[in-house]
Amino acid sequence: MHYVPFPLQGFVGSFLLAFPALFSIINPPGGALIFLQVAGQRTLAERRWLAGKVGVYSGVVLLVSLWAGSYVLNFFGISLGALRVGGGLVVANSAWQLLNQPEADEARKEQQAQPARLSASAAFYPLTIPLTTGPGTISVMIALAAERPQFGHGIMPFMLGMSAAAISIAALIWVSYRYSDAVFRLLGSGGARVLTRLVAFLLLCIGTQIVVTGIEDLTVEFMAAQHLNG
């Protein structure tokens, strides 16, 4: 009986690749605790309104990063292999920081979100960017998009699976923030940090795999160029 590897470039495979990676870097339950601290002075109705806005805006940021980010880099002549290596290093570095110092990440997000106490327009800035989907999340989304097939009919199922993962994460952000008081009672800050470390290790493995794939692509490109020049 032969082992058949899981089709990571199909719809289901790309969803299962993207969802845990995005969950790791965004950490909706952990973000909900910070959201509750920042918006805790507002009424329940106002918090739920903000949660809905943040969920929608986060989905838009993720989808734009997915569909436009890697193609913009390719437009500037960055090869898919180089994009995978660079993106994988970003993913791995983000995971390493989350794995070792989740408290520092929480403190940074709390400091960035302080203006949200003053204005209802803060649903996009700073509650969505940079509190929920900051530069690190955008970089991870672009790096994941770099795992798409280079040619053929597999591109669209892959991108749709990634999009489904992004929308699912946005929905999870909305639910976590909407019921942030319940998340706090369930997890507390200690539970959120344990969850962050568990999923950060998975993100570290994903980043390493992306780097390995990128190195393989660059090796193939180098060998092909040597063959042509020879």
**For the segment 54-89, what is each residue's pLDDT rounded down to a tens digit?**
999 999 999 999 998 867 776 777 777 787 788 778
pLDDT of residue 123: 86
On whether residue 1 sits in a domain, the answer given is: no
pLDDT of residue 160: 94
Mean pLDDT of 19-46: 85
**Cα–Cα distance measured from residue 227 to residue 123, given in angstroms and rounded to the nearest whole number:** 54
Mean pLDDT of 123-133: 85
Do residues 210 and 143 make contact, with C-beta atoms less than 8 angstroms apart? yes
On whether residue 6 sits in a domain, the answer given is: no
The runs of H, that is alpha helices, within the chain are 11-26, 28-39, 44-64, 70-75, 80-100, 102-112, 135-145, 155-178, 180-186, 188-229
Mean confidence (pLDDT) of the chain: 80
Q: 3-state SS string over 27-83?
A: CHHHHHHHHHHHHCCCCHHHHHHHHHHHHHHHHHHHHHHHHHHHHHHHHCCCCHHHH
Helix-strand-coil split of the chain, %, nearest 5: 85, 0, 15
pLDDT band of residue 176 (cuts 50, 70, 90) is very high
On whether residue 33 sits in a domain, the answer given is: yes
Do residues 20 and 91 make contact, with C-beta atoms less than 8 angstroms apart? no
Q: Whose structure tokens read 């989905």?
A: 59
Do residues 91 and 143 make contact, with C-beta atoms less than 8 angstroms apart? yes
Do residues 50 and 127 make contact, with C-beta atoms less than 8 angstroms apart? yes
On whether residue 193 sits in a domain, the answer given is: yes
What percentage of the chain has pLDDT greater than the value 70?
Answer: 82
**Cα–Cα distance measured from residue 15 to residue 11, given in angstroms and rounded to the nearest whole number:** 6
On whether residue 186 sits in a domain, the answer given is: yes
**Quick one: 200 exposed, middle or buried, by C-beta within 10 A (0-12, 13-18, 19+)?**
buried
pLDDT of residue 52: 95
The pTM score is: 0.75
Give the model confidence (pLDDT) of 200-219 as tens digits: 787 788 788 888 888 888 89
**Cα–Cα distance measured from residue 43 to residue 127, given in angstroms and rounded to the nearest whole number:** 17
Domain containing 192 equals 11-229
Number of domains in the chain: 1
On whether residue 117 sits in a domain, the answer given is: yes
On whether residue 219 sits in a domain, the answer given is: yes
Give the model confidence (pLDDT) of 106-119 as tens digits: 555 555 555 444 45
**Quick one: 85 exposed, middle or buried, by C-beta within 10 A (0-12, 13-18, 19+)?**
buried
Whether residue 105 is predicted with pLDDT greater than 70 in this model: the reply is no
Q: Whose structure tokens read 């339950």?
A: 29
Task: Determine the residue type at 119.
Answer: S
CB atoms within 10 A of CB 5: 6
